[in-house]
Amino acid sequence: MNTPSPNQNASSSGGPIGIVAALHEEINELLTLLSGARAVHIGSRDFWTGELDGQAVVVVLSRVGKVAAASTATLLVAQFGVRAVVFAGVAGALAPGVAVGDVVVSSELLQHDVDASPLFPRWEIPLTGVARFQADAALAQGLLESARAVLADPLGLLGQPVMEAFGIAAPQAHAGLIISGDRFVSTSAESATLRAALPDALAVEMEGAAVAQICHEWGVPFAAIRTISDRADDAASVDFAQFIAEVDSRYSVAILRQWLSGAAQAA
């Protein structure tokens, strides 16, 4: 096993930037763009180190779910000394004004399936006193600005056939609460329940808040960018794989490269 020495100074300004996604299709193109790429195998994961748009990065597939994502984030911090972590992927929309093809950047993140009441308040992570993990403000703002710049020309990025296929017209970038849980929300009843309980939540996914917890505990800046693939309702699984390949992966690469080339130092 090729394992770098542990780095206890995880938030060092000289460390690389960790880029994480849950699905192979979301990192495949990034890996082709890395210069000086080298795979470091730890456990069941390959961490790809290299340089992207002038920035040292570590790109890794976390796989799906909170435990897988938290485990991956812990290794990024402890073994690679990353100075910031960005999670990129898809999510289901919850808020009425968030549409398929939009992007949501986290301002805060919460695990909606955590409930240790009455011992602790609902959603609070026991013994931390925290339910809502704050994204790093500068990092989130840089990603939001990058997303807005990329979405200013969706036709050039996606092409008319893809936009028409998924009903994307004028995609917007939003900032707000993203919630995470270990289930794929795919019914109208489930999404209505989440909206009633957390009315300010913009989107729901399966990893971000777990990574936010790890980064909080280590003092490492974190933010998530999520492309809206569905409305987290009864049609949530329709053309999911096609959306990831034709929309999400293009968005993620473009937004990350826009941010890395001009705003990474803000992290």
Q: Which residues are catalytic?
A: 26, 230
Please count the other Cβ atoms lying within 10 Å of the Cβ belonging to residue 219: 9
Rounded to whole angstroms, the Cα distance separating 113 from 181 reads 5
Q: E strands within the chain?
A: 17-21, 35-42, 45-52, 55-61, 84-93, 103-111, 133-134, 173-180, 201-205, 222-230
Q: Which amino acid is at 263?
A: A
3-state secondary structure 218-232: HCCCEEEEEEEEECC
Rounded to whole angstroms, the Cα distance separating 224 from 20 reads 9
Please count the other Cβ atoms lying within 10 Å of the Cβ belonging to residue 161: 9
Find tokens 């960005």 and name the residue: 86
Q: How far is CA 219 from the centre of its chain?
A: 18
